[in-house]
Structure 1
């Protein structure tokens, strides 16, 4: 079987199982089943089967899609007979797929079976406390490594003292009869100390390498995917909502994200409470949702992600949003705010929403299973605080509410780089730092009025923006700090985008605990916490990815021009173009990727419109063209196209819609929104796609 065929079948095997499992889980909810989501998955399954040329599977998927279309059009109801028919079609799809994968019948064996060539994987059960003990041992070893650094300093000091003594004795030689012997002894002592120092440096390097390996192995054991703790939350929320008479669509993504088991377990109850709270405060009368143009069901979305050593959990709903009037009244009632004089301006939403996590503050109109007495959110805030995390509530746009929770990925210490910023120390996770720089100030260049430096990255010269860290933290413009004619900077990377943060000095690298910090006077999005210092004010712990994203946000035009962007070897060839393929079907993505890469294009992938939009706006890659499906979860192709064309920094990017929706109205809508081409999958010919791309690029 050719490699591409094998890859496509492997991708389809994963995809069709995912679709079948999702549809079966939806049907298990009974009347709560989302027929539109079932239709979308059946539609994707049919297209994926067509892409790998499995007509039997495609036929069964088409029958499944047709039945779902009847449900959506109201021609059928989701009664017991219909559910049974759907389940029969799911079994038929599975049987057809299994038959397609069935290998040829084996030949009669003529000899004893040969032993398996691959070694069997052995699994062991590890006690959580044993893992915690291993983690503590690793941290102790980290401290020992740091102590060895102090020994190095002592050795250097003793060696310097010995050299001073040798010089003094040389000046005074002849004062004693055995001066020559003593002088030789001092020389030997100095040489021995120097040799010892060299050996100590080598041993320290080896110890550091061993520690790095140990740290990686410990993290493999001590971390787990979020699925292990949060995997059952979606059905639990649906059950709770059903009992309360709330029709809800629960969407959970990012459960493959890995974090410390102890952190995940500590967040289990707080996250579940936030989800219950989203249902409680997001519910509203059907006529109110209809009047606002919202879907019939309340949508509650939970997203888990990780970056720069921190775990992020975002929970959002599309309900009415926070009731700021009730929140102000509750805050006044609890003595958190003074009554507002008549005619006085209302507090800002940020001021009011900050009180939502105070004990006893609630905007619920009554107490039931979902709405409590205002103590739950304060318990959530306390649990997050103990993990040195952050919790923020914001109003959604144009409606709804969003809670952003952020904690360290691990409950252990972190390796940090300490820098000096205008007389105050700040810390960056060492894993988030690409390189330390010390540059001649005269070597800085100006790009559209902004300082930049030419830095060698992966063998290429890249013009990187030089941004004062103090300016990013304060939001106030500042000059690049120069000391003794040189600029000290930290090179950060976000994908292939690079930014150099200029600081007053590079101070130290050491392991330390990052604690929670009340940073009202600073930008909380950039601050991960604080590190207690021995004899001075706490050092701010910063989020490297957030710092780069802030520069990208503030300097979109500069970023769009490629400043700080490092090309890979294939991108360096100006004839190589980058294409973003957006499709929720892994089979279709794999097929399109193979076709485009065979023509010499570089291909990036996105699983839906929102994923694609985030990639386009992140500046991590310079994308020349987008090929997008229409039927996708979270954000469909039409919405993605509209967002791209409405963004001044992205509007010139060509977009090709490639979908099975061949209605004239859909084609006209896509072209009216600004699509450069519209290709239907039913009559898909790769030559048509390549010709359209060739004309646009």
Structure 2
């Protein structure tokens, strides 16, 4: 029974987050003066109450019951939602969040008295009946009739089932999958051995054929010998028969080996596809949304502000970003310290905020984003901002600034990260000990990153924690480059977040600026010229020629600072989610290396730093991207394909395949994103390749919407999915799909041929 309740609580944990987020979003809309859907808010409070009852959480049920009654009045127009009432709702939501977060330590929490009292005060005009536990066994005695259930729109049920699994089990699964990958690479050797056997058997048969060509002569000779009474004629007849039997047997062996080779090839391909998918899925299990660690921080900040008698608005952005769980855990305490710092040092009196024309409540924003190979966490407030004079005075008093020295602005601001540094006038519960920001700086340093404090515009302060994603699992683009003539290729990794585009360049795409190779590309709707530097040159092996294979130069366009840079490589291999460890402490240029990864065959590969590569490329000569000077001859329009898939790996690989064959490619993360793009830029898209299983709007829903739109109905759509069930295929074709490709037997040639036929 305990196991069943744990599963129910895991599902309730996800459901209650969704309801609270929707209610808070409605409050924010109302605060901004925009209309909010109070009917939806009422239904969510009602659903939250029912869900709490189902998992036997009467404390949450009590609070949700009162919220439901309050929103009922708002829906009926019998009550408004002024700032004071919104504050009570905020308190109630925070208490619910706190009760659920504390369940591991307090399985049967008591109802929060302050939230209950505050809600009862708002509802005191007409007391509501208590939510009684016995109501679980029958219909709820509500004054308001149950809202009629709304029919769910087709294909919109994206309910997700959650299980709680120990993290070490996920780590073990990932390691086992990678070990299996290494073991199954032996299949390639078996395939080579089978191919060798087939080749040897065919060579032997050619020898037999040579003998077979002489059998006519031997038969004639045997007949003459027999007629002459020579016993050698009979022996020669026997030899001819054996040669013929050998030829038949050899043919049968060759047929068997050829069949075995075909079966082995198909089996290896199927196993490789299944293993690749399994490996990617296992790796993705170790990536979690930032919300899993930072999601409760809004409630914590509001609670700290309430205890200090302050009004605060908390905004959380980018918490859907998938980040390695270990990295998020390492940042958990530093981010909380930085958030507490916004209250202790950023809060102002109501009079001061009114005088500065600021909103009454202090605004605090926590943002999580990935930029290139970096994870950036930003904590911003619109408070009083850093006091440079006071920071400098404290630094001099603590001996951090030598007498007579006049540090610059950034040097002064960096003083706040010193242990024991504080400008607070006294020690209280949230400030004065000088430990908060020093914890932030120390954590950033331990993760090979940095922390900074800067004034925010137009007012306030901004603390930024920047750490390399190489401290975690991340998608990595693997490339090959030959560093020195006569040596074999080496594999390197590039953080996929820093890759702007994969390039396949012909001689027409290449140009020269100041005697250095460059490439002309489209960026922001204009032609720009960017440096094109062989990776071998950047890694210190001298000036290397551009690697040319099959008439093409393959390159990676990197996001590296203000100016892009294209790095030429020998081969573009794959995008994989890998555990990136620290860079080796010896050998090479540390500015060019951000970490190491272990490949499937247990060989290590260096992960290169895009910023370092860009800086090295600019030193080589081309310093900035410049507009193309020569007028371009109007070229034939390149067909544009929209790739829609919620898997970044699949999107990247499909984009890479299509761009390599001359198509222009847009990407979208799900069906709704694609539909919005098509309705905005549909005239620029010639064909859509869409996955079926996606959040928000799946491939079937996207296809239906496209075919129902008069402006898009003629647009070809290819559905590409792992669902190979005939009923699914028939459904996709019935809805108007122009083609349906299953991923189990995916061959890039099939995709390219299909696109070619449709265009």
TM-score normalised by the chain length of structure 2:
0.46
- The higher relative CO (CA closer than 8 Å, separation ≥ 6) is in 1
